[in-house]
């Protein structure tokens, strides 16, 4: 099978043969979008090389379409972009993989244009001198990560909106179902089941708003800053024009940072985004665990709601049903929290003018975004929308509790009501 990449990618494939997982597709896709913007820019700035950069733009389109289809020029995607997600060099290996693939495909396009099967001197395309002109891993990689993160944030925000709506529907549906409120897992005061779902909806609404707002900071990019943000090796006209093309290609309101060196050195914005994902994970875990507890039993636990049966719950206990969707949601939340810790440590190790650990940040951040997007959707579809209230059970637990006594505290005083409860419990036992 033909290899579309070159020697530097082969070395990276060998050096970082971890066998865990490859670089996230969305990061590769965004990186190729950056390269397409560069090719369009140089068509304008370098008329003597217009033919080359037109061919490169075509090559970019072939790769972008191929990523969606799973094959690039007849070669499976997995055999084209081969670097492991975790790699030394601040992402240089992934960037070189993209440069070499685009150089190969651009050369093929030039050969087609000139009607030759083998490249001559005019068809030789260099992955660095041509494809990477005026660029560095240190501005291309973080720019691509910002683009990929924004796209995924938008998807997650939309799923959060749908979950919020589903919770509000349950709030309205069960507004009249009275039940026992609990604090510290102990009987408290009367509430309604609808109130609980209304509170859950509010927490998700805050998550949705936070994720929407943080996109503003991701739109700032250091593209054109090259190695350390000073723009060395990059033309000022290129720096201005490439952002305009990238905005058009991605549909995102990107802007070049006024201080690119800051964005090359510091990756705190990704820590901020990850922190908001962690906040969402915290709320999801709380909601999932509450539903898990309310579903418990059904006879030996609370049993106030009934979660839909998704699958058999035991290989030995017939009829047992487990709250599998809540358990999945809680595990994903734990994973997102773990990813946040990794992102925090990686960002803190950005010594001097570059963060060498950006591949770990990218891998964890994009994984968290993807996991949460799928989890929020599945939790909504297979748990929230399908659950049912056990109204008689809610009523029985409430009426058998001391929850109503609190209402008399204002008139009778705390001590007298406490004494009444004590006497009731003695009589009951």
Compute the CA torsion angle 196, 197, 200, 204 (nearest 10 deg).
-160
Contact 122, 114 (CB under 8 A): yes
DSSP-based three-state secondary structure for 421: helix
DSSP-based three-state secondary structure for 255: strand
Q: Which residues of 262-292 are buried (b: 16+ CB within 10 A; e: fewer)?
A: ebbbebbbbbebbebbbbbbebbbebbbbbb
Residue 132, CA distances (Å) to 7, 109, 129, 363, 422 in order: 16, 18, 6, 23, 79
What the block records as the tokens of 367 is 């994984």
- Tokens 């990186």 label which residue? 31
Q: Please confirm, yes or no, whether 257 is among the known catalytic residues.
A: no
| Longest CA–CA separation in the chain, Å | 100
Give the Cα separation of 117 and 115 in Å (integer): 7
- Tokens 């440069």 label which residue? 99
- SS3 track for 62-96: HHHHHHHHCEECCEEHHHCCCCECCCCCCCHHHHH
Nearest to 133 by CA among 18, 48, 19, 27: 48
Angle (CA) 263 265 271, round 5°: 70
Label the pairing between strands 71-72 and 178-183: unpaired
Give the Cα separation of 325 and 140 in Å (integer): 39
Q: Which of 117, 257, 274, 314 is catalytic?
A: 314
Give the Cα separation of 342 and 418 in Å (integer): 49
Give the Cα separation of 291 and 384 in Å (integer): 9
Contact 103, 35 (CB under 8 A): no
Give the Cα separation of 235 and 158 in Å (integer): 39
Q: Is the peptide bond before 298 cis (omega within 30 degrees of 0)?
A: yes
Give the Cα separation of 392 and 269 in Å (integer): 50
Catalytic residues: 314
């Amino acid at each position: 099978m033909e290899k579309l990449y070159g020697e530097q990618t082969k070395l990276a494939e060998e050096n970082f043969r971890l066998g865990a997982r490859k670089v996230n597709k969305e990061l590769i896709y965004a990186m190729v979008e950056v390269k397409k913007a560069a090719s369009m820019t140089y068509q304008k700035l370098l008329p003597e090389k217009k033919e080359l950069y037109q061919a490169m733009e075509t090559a970019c389109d072939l790769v972008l379409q191929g990523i969606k289809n799973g094959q690039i020029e007849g070669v499976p995607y997995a055999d084209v972009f081969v670097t492991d997600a975790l790699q030394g060099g601040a992402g240089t290996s992934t960037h070189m993989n993209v440069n070499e693939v685009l150089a190969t495909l651009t050369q093929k396009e030039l050969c087609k244009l000139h009607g030759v099967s083998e490249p001559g001197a005019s068809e030789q395309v260099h992955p660095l001198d041509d494809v990477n002109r005026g660029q560095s891993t240190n501005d291309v990689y973080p720019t691509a990560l910002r683009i990929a993160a924004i796209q995924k944030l938008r998807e997650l925000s939309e799923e959060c909106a749908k979950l919020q709506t589903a919770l509000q529907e349950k709030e309205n549906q069960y507004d009249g179902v009275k039940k026992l409120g609990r604090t510290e897992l102990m009987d408290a005061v009367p509430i309604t089941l609808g109130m609980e779902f209304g509170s859950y909806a509010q927490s998700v609404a805050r998550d949705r708003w936070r994720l929407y707002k943080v996109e503003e900071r991701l739109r700032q990019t250091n593209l054109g800053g090259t190695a350390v943000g000073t723009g060395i090796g990059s033309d000022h006209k290129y720096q201005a024009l490439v952002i305009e093309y990238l905005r058009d290609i991605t549909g995102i309101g990107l802007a070049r940072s006024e201080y690119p060196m800051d964005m090359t050195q510091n990756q705190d914005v990704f820590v901020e985004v990850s922190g908001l994902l962690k906040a969402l994970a915290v709320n999801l875990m709380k909601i999932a665990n509450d539903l898990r507890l309310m579903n418990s039993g059904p006879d030996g636990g609370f049993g106030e709601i009934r979660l839909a049966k998704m699958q058999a719950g035991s290989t030995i206990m017939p009829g047992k049903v487990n709250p599998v969707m809540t358990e999945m949601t809680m595990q994903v939340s734990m994973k997102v929290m773990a990813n946040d810790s990794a992102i925090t440590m990686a960002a803190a190790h950005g010594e001097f003018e570059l963060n060498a650990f950006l591949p770990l940040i990218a891998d964890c951040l994009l994984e968290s975004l993807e996991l949460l997007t799928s989890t929020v959707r599945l939790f909504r579809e297979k748990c929230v929308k399908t659950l049912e209230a056990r109204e008689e059970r809610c009523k029985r637990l409430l009426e058998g509790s001391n929850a109503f006594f609190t209402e008399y505290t204002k008139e009778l005083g705390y001590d007298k009501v406490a004494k009444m409860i004590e006497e009731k419990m003695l009589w009951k036992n």
